[in-house]
Structure 1
Amino acid sequence: MLKSRIAGVFCLCCMLVTTLAFDAAASKKNHYESAISKVRSEIWQDINSGKCGSAAAAIMVDGKVVYAEGFGMANREKSIPVTTTTLFNIGSISKVYVAVAIMLLVDDGKVLLDKPVTDYLPEFKMADKRYKKITVRMLLNHVSGLPGTEVSNSFGFKYDDNVKQETINTLARAHLKHDPGAMAVYCNDGFTLAEMIVERVSKMKYMNFLEKRIFKPLGLKNTGIGVGEIKGKPVALYYDPKTGEMHPTETLSVLGAGGLSSTAGELCLFADTFSAAGKLLKKDSLAEMRKAQPSTFRGKLRNPEVSIGLGWDMTGLPRYDAAGIQLLGKSGGTGNYSSMVFTVPDRRISVAVLAAGRGSNAMKIALAGMDAVLVEKKLVPREGKTILIPPKAQKLPQDYASFSGYYASNTKIGQVVFDEEKNSATLFIFKEKEKVPAMTLVYNNGYYYDAEGNRSYFTSTGGETYYVSSLATLGIDVIGMQKIKPIEKPQSLRINMDGMVWLRRNVSPLEGIIAVDSHFVKSLLYKELPGYVDFMGAKRIDSPEFAGMPFDAIRDQTALTLLEKNGDTWVWISDLLYSPAQSAASLKAGGNSVKIEGDGYNKWMVADEDMVVSFTKPKQGRIIMFSSGDTVIYDSAVNTGDAYTAKGSYIECSGFANDVFTVIAKPIGSDKKK
């Protein structure tokens, strides 16, 4: 009886304590509940719709993390959930770290922003004399004019320090797409050069410099190299949203451009250092990093452009500028991860979102979270809900015909056709030789609107014509495509490249899955565009051996150079090397032995009939199979076992010098096809 009474009193006390604790917690208002709810809701929408598999978010105010949470499973096989210490690759947010590293050297008196890059890297040369005018500052604010991105083996499953020398080699035969300083066009290679400057001037390995000068002073114990190189710490793995297959953990060898990993909380802690001098940078360097760093093109579009800074994507947005609030922001995207960090340095508010998934709306989610915090603090007014009212078509402007013609982005070529009767414009995209309608735009009050209410316009300036997306919700304009100029006296390459299939030959077996699309490519010529060739984007034919970059405002352009090798005409597409498909060996019934030669080039075979194939490969070797229509049907990085290959399919074997592969092929009858 006594025991039961004691137990009853104990239970009553527990209930009382629990009730009091709950009441106390309930009475303590969470000032950030609106932001937290918004972030949670949108992250789960991304996960449930397959845009990402897992995610993490954090909000920091006045130097304290007021919210941090993980979503989904970091490791599905082991049922390990994402927590606040789970690591994600942060992609291009890494650019802010290398910019800070440069500014630390500026503080040390060892680097001057406006000195030529060649003063620090004398080995940096280009096939364009203007390269000597590129300064250190121009590397960090995307105005250098460099073509764009070193693709070959930059994304992979293992860190490769050789990517820096390969970048130097590629740039040595490259041209600029515009005068240094003329335009701000996103460029990864500039940050690889900045990384090299940090190493050269500091006489330290880049990661060691970051550890000593940034990570350790800030107490960043979970920020470092990409997750593919991380051992003993929790990592958010990437799973293909279509197949559910786990991909090998990803490493980017371009550390300055996009090779770091971190947590959402530590991203906020790093961003908070921009709130005051002395946390990392001295006063003048901090001010330099917080201000806009425009090109001479600034002001030539209707509305403000993105206000690029040193490393930052933006140093403000019109909505917040109007309220006297400076917003710094940087996004990141890799083959497997998406990320975004925003900070309002004067108010010490930071928001970060990380996701394992290429299609995540990390930027949108982080901005929604930041906006909710600022609204709660009454720093900006709450925005009303936007109601989409389809605009009524108005008469096309008098000059509309001057904007008709062919346009291109870095990978797509299209045609804009105006319809005077419907007061509309239709954008057709080339799918090989077929023109496929991509969207129809209705003209209204100076802008063209698509079915979702997104607005755009056409403009000509400086002898060039652009198709511009006007992002009304952000209040900024972004060039989406540039018009392809007709050539008065078009030239031709010395070989007819129309319809040719090309096989990439300088592939490392550890290269990332995101780059597999570059392995099997078709080149095309269009009768409507004499003097141009389409090989991973439009190129202007400048000589029988060379086709260069035709645009000044399009990112990640490449040039084409023909060369003779092994009795065939091969092609350099900037840093990517290709041989014609006819150079592939025939896949024979029975055993096929493939050896990687001393040059390290991967080997190709083509199936002359339907077969089932099995493989024996080196430990780090890789086999990828493509259908005749360039679809990947097998990749040993994620697939195992035997595979079916139809007639006309290609098999790629990549490895290291002297690696030997065995491919056993068994022909099958048509009645056994599946």
Structure 2
Amino acid sequence: MLKMTKFKNIVIEFLIFTFMFVITIPQAGASSTSYQNTKEAAREAVWKVITSGQGSSATVAVMDGGKIVYSEGFGAADRKAGRVVDRSTRFNIGSTSKMFVAVSVLLLVDEGKVNLDDPVVKYIPEFEMKDQRYREITVRMLFNHSSGLPGSTFLFGYDPEGEPYEMLLERMKRSNLKHDPGAVGIYCNDGFTLAEMIVERVSGQKFLNFLEKRVFQPLGMKDTGASIGESAGNISNFYDPETGKKYPPEVILVHAAGGLSSTAEDLCRFGDSFSPGGKKILSQSSIEEILKSQPTPFSAGLRGQVIMDSFGWDYSLLPSYEENGIKVYSKGGGTGAYSTGLQVLPEQRLVVAASISGKLNGEAVTRPVLNALMKDKGLPVPEERKKEKPVDPEIIPSELSAFQGLYANGGSFVRIRFNKERKKMEVLQLLPEGDEVPAGKEGPVLMSFVYNGGSFYSFEKDLRGYFIRNRDTSCFIAEKDPFYGIDNLMFQKVSEEEEPKKLLADMKDKIWLIRNLTPSIQLYRETAMVSSDTYSELPGYLTFMSPLRVEDDHSATYAAPLFRDQSELEIFESDGTLWVKSGIFLFSDAEKTKVLKSGRNSVMIGEKGYNEWYRTGSGSILSFEKPEKDRVMVLREESERLALFDSITDDGEVYVPEGSYVVCIGQPGDMFTVNVK
């Protein structure tokens, strides 16, 4: 179950792990440099990932001066066939795909067919939102993540199901913006799907065809294309690190937002096109555009550097490198099964790329390789960050007292308060109704800070921060994040409602079941169940996947709009059933779930095609009969765990404990049999 009351650790914790060596592919060097440090760093990084269970295979490549100077494959691409990863083995690259639509739009800018500061509706007139500010969203805002769109509208899967453009446009018609267009950069996948649509409308070509002709072929990228589940061939399969189960090749139809596959070498060729001396497909003015900062008013109010203020890149500088005069550009990517990192130093004409079959931060691999490459080239390498020495607490200035109160992050609510002596700040978890501590007690303290010299320090969490006012909202900002050295939002203050509103149904401590899953949807260590909670300290608010503020008896909107991937909520009754619509998913209340009886249970998918859910009344052994293309899953309430049974990877019988859920996913009229003994 997605327990949204659990505190989300908003301190970015990145596992600096890495991968396993099996095949070496040496290349002719760009100079007499041996690249020994580079090779050793890559192998050490990959070994860490593999041996720590973070991934099963990988590819790493390094380019210097336009030549591949190191390229190596790690692990098995197909264990059963004994096929290892080689230089042409493709991985899904996730959000690294975003840079390809950034280049595509700039190619159209070069031709005078697109203006970055034109409104999106000029190119996609059927794009509409409930919030009329959508007309102010420009093409540029799609690339620095400042459009204000809710976040992510797509499905990962194992078959090409659905129409992503229609799915996005339909959701937008009933959605509000999270903030004024252009105000703040918050990671947003949906903006890149709109950009993909612009490329198709303006060019008259399918996006993949445009890329093939205008990007892949000119740059010699022979091993880049659609996601591995669409294109097949020499791909690296995904194996669960815990069980060793092989999953079907992943299909991602939002190609611009995250649906391309590639090799590390091809990514290096792409990265080199931004360097002086690299093979150019963009005009000089467009290269300058894609490499320059794209700031927002929110970032201008912070003390330090931020990410997202770039044209598609995650960042266009890192402070520790910038101090040495080195400009670093980076774009990572993660899917349900793969991780990628691409780092480019245009002025030095160096590129590092890596992809991993596994879920982690791709930069955990590329960063140590980049540092080793810089050492090999005689460039200054940032010093390893050291933990800050504890400081003596000072009295918190009285003018900061107004910042105390109730806050939210992307998934939960907290209380921030100063102690009586104003020498300590505490962040307390706000407990949902039903979980409250005894009278006179409080929720758990999640972190404590002392104040010194204008900043708050949590030495236990290796974290410091400060408060700002952003228009009419107070925010607590993490200062100089340990991994990136940038500032990022931790908490956004929520207003306590004078006349709090209520939804038509009590949302206290409920479980909700997704009813519109497709048979091929990717649910890897994810769940199809969501919890909702309410809070006695914060009437008029709830959590349902994200923090929400009730607007009326049928709807709730964003309570923390400055965080990524937020969804509003609609609640209604139909045919005696309580339903919730959130994002692209439809949910029903789990309280009415039927219990499986001992023996043979027949299940039919109804005329609307909704998934059918059942519970086990006691510990049982289950087996299933189903149509070939349909799916059965057995799930527990705990989130982030593998399904007890998933017909995508499993067959035969399975033991399930009492209270487990069985979901049958198919087409209207399809029949399933669940045998219980």
Q: TM-score, normalised by structure 1?
A: 0.89
Of 535, 542, 546, which residue of structure 2 is paired with 1:533?
542
User: Per-residue CA shift, 1:490-525, capped at 9, x if unaligned?
Assistant: 1111111111221111101111124842x1112111
Higher RCO by CA contacts (8 Å cutoff, separation 6 or greater): 2
Change (3 A) 1:216 1:569: same
* Alpha-carbon distance in structure 1 between the residues aligned to 2:431 and 2:350: 46
1:638 corresponds to 2:649: yes
Change (3 A) 1:627 1:229: same
2:613–2:661 CA contact under 8 A, matched in 1: yes
Bigger shift: residues 81-90 or 384-393: 384-393
* Alpha-carbon distance in structure 1 between the residues aligned to 2:341 and 2:330: 7
Aligned pairs for 1:247-396 (under 5 A) are 247-276=247-276, 279-306=280-307, 308-359=309-360, 361-379=361-379, 381-388=380-387, 390-396=389-395
- Alpha-carbon deviation of 1:309? 1.9
The corresponding residue for 1:244 is 244
* Alpha-carbon distance in structure 2 between the residues aligned to 1:43 and 1:248: 23
1:391–1:444 CA contact under 8 A, matched in 2: no
User: Per-residue CA shift, 1:647-668, capped at 9, x if unaligned?
Assistant: 33221111233322111222xx
User: Per-residue CA shift, 1:283-327, capped at 9, x if unaligned?
Assistant: 222221111111122321111212532211112222333444332
- Alpha-carbon deviation of 1:472? 5.0
1:574 corresponds to 2:583: yes
Aligned pairs for 1:91-102 (under 5 A) are 91-102=94-105
The corresponding residue for 1:6 is none
2:229–2:251 CA contact under 8 A, matched in 1: yes
1:393–1:424 CA contact under 8 A, matched in 2: no
Q: Decide which structure has the larger Cα Rg and report it.
A: 1
1:479 corresponds to 2:482: no
The corresponding residue for 1:654 is 665
Bigger shift: residues 252-261 or 70-79: 70-79
* Alpha-carbon distance in structure 2 between the residues aligned to 1:606 and 1:385: 52
Bigger shift: residues 114-123 or 480-489: 480-489
- SS of equivalent residue, structure 2 residue 218: helix
The corresponding residue for 1:143 is 146
2:145–2:308 CA contact under 8 A, matched in 1: no
1:495 corresponds to 2:494: no
User: Per-residue CA shift, 1:577-607, capped at 9, x if unaligned?
Assistant: 1011134333223222222234322111223
1:131 corresponds to 2:134: yes
* Alpha-carbon distance in structure 2 between the residues aligned to 1:112 and 1:603: 48
The answer for unaligned runs of 5 or more in structure 1 is 1-24, 667-674
1:456 corresponds to 2:465: yes
1:222–1:263 CA contact under 8 A, matched in 2: yes
- SS of equivalent residue, structure 1 residue 68: strand
* Alpha-carbon distance in structure 1 between the residues aligned to 2:59 and 2:149: 34
1:521–1:536 CA contact under 8 A, matched in 2: yes
- SS of equivalent residue, structure 2 residue 347: helix
1:413–1:537 CA contact under 8 A, matched in 2: no
The corresponding residue for 1:167 is 168
Change (3 A) 1:291 1:583: same
1:396–1:420 CA contact under 8 A, matched in 2: no
* Alpha-carbon distance in structure 2 between the residues aligned to 1:505 and 1:290: 44
1:410–1:537 CA contact under 8 A, matched in 2: yes
Bigger shift: residues 649-658 or 252-261: 649-658
- SS of equivalent residue, structure 1 residue 600: coil
Change (3 A) 1:610 1:364: closer
Change (3 A) 1:406 1:300: same
Bigger shift: residues 619-628 or 448-457: 448-457
Aligned pairs for 1:107-122 (under 5 A) are 107-122=110-125
Q: TM-score, normalised by structure 2?
A: 0.88
- SS of equivalent residue, structure 2 residue 559: coil
1:155–1:514 CA contact under 8 A, matched in 2: no
1:177–1:552 CA contact under 8 A, matched in 2: yes
The answer for unaligned runs of 5 or more in structure 2 is 1-27, 437-442
1:554 corresponds to 2:563: yes
The corresponding residue for 1:589 is 598
2:307–2:314 CA contact under 8 A, matched in 1: yes
Of 34, 39, 47, which residue of structure 2 is paired with 1:36?
39
Of 618, 628, 633, which residue of structure 2 is paired with 1:624?
633
2:35–2:376 CA contact under 8 A, matched in 1: yes
Bigger shift: residues 625-634 or 245-254: 625-634
Number of residues paired by the alignment?
635
* Alpha-carbon distance in structure 1 between the residues aligned to 2:324 and 2:389: 30
The corresponding residue for 1:397 is 396
| Aligned Cα root-mean-square deviation (Å) | 2.4
- Alpha-carbon deviation of 1:214? 1.1
- SS of equivalent residue, structure 1 residue 45: helix
- AA aligned opposite 1:364: A
- SS of equivalent residue, structure 1 residue 340: strand
The corresponding residue for 1:544 is 553
- SS of equivalent residue, structure 1 residue 131: helix
Change (3 A) 1:572 1:218: same
* Alpha-carbon distance in structure 1 between the residues aligned to 2:81 and 2:279: 43
User: Per-residue CA shift, 1:246-281, capped at 9, x if unaligned?
Assistant: 222212121110001111111010111112487211
* Alpha-carbon distance in structure 2 between the residues aligned to 1:657 and 1:201: 39
Change (3 A) 1:426 1:37: farther
Bigger shift: residues 42-51 or 121-130: 42-51
* Alpha-carbon distance in structure 1 between the residues aligned to 2:571 and 2:383: 56
Bigger shift: residues 78-87 or 449-458: 449-458
* Alpha-carbon distance in structure 2 between the residues aligned to 1:376 and 1:539: 51
Change (3 A) 1:618 1:332: same
Bigger shift: residues 419-428 or 470-479: 419-428
Change (3 A) 1:559 1:249: same
* Alpha-carbon distance in structure 1 between the residues aligned to 2:164 and 2:86: 33
The corresponding residue for 1:3 is none
- SS of equivalent residue, structure 1 residue 347: coil
1:443–1:449 CA contact under 8 A, matched in 2: no
Of 101, 105, 108, which residue of structure 2 is paired with 1:105?
108
- Alpha-carbon deviation of 1:94? 0.4
The corresponding residue for 2:10 is none
* Alpha-carbon distance in structure 1 between the residues aligned to 2:328 and 2:391: 35
* Alpha-carbon distance in structure 1 between the residues aligned to 2:224 and 2:298: 36
- SS of equivalent residue, structure 1 residue 103: helix
User: Per-residue CA shift, 1:426-450, capped at 9, x if unaligned?
Assistant: 4344576364544444444423224
The corresponding residue for 1:447 is 456
- AA aligned opposite 1:485: S
2:617–2:658 CA contact under 8 A, matched in 1: yes
Change (3 A) 1:139 1:390: same
- SS of equivalent residue, structure 1 residue 320: helix
User: Per-residue CA shift, 1:41-82, capped at 9, x if unaligned?
Assistant: 122122211222222111101110011111222233333322
The corresponding residue for 1:84 is 87
**Bigger helix fraction:** 1
The corresponding residue for 2:523 is 513
The corresponding residue for 1:45 is 48
- Alpha-carbon deviation of 1:473? 5.6
The corresponding residue for 1:5 is none
- AA aligned opposite 2:348: R
* Alpha-carbon distance in structure 1 between the residues aligned to 2:510 and 2:314: 38
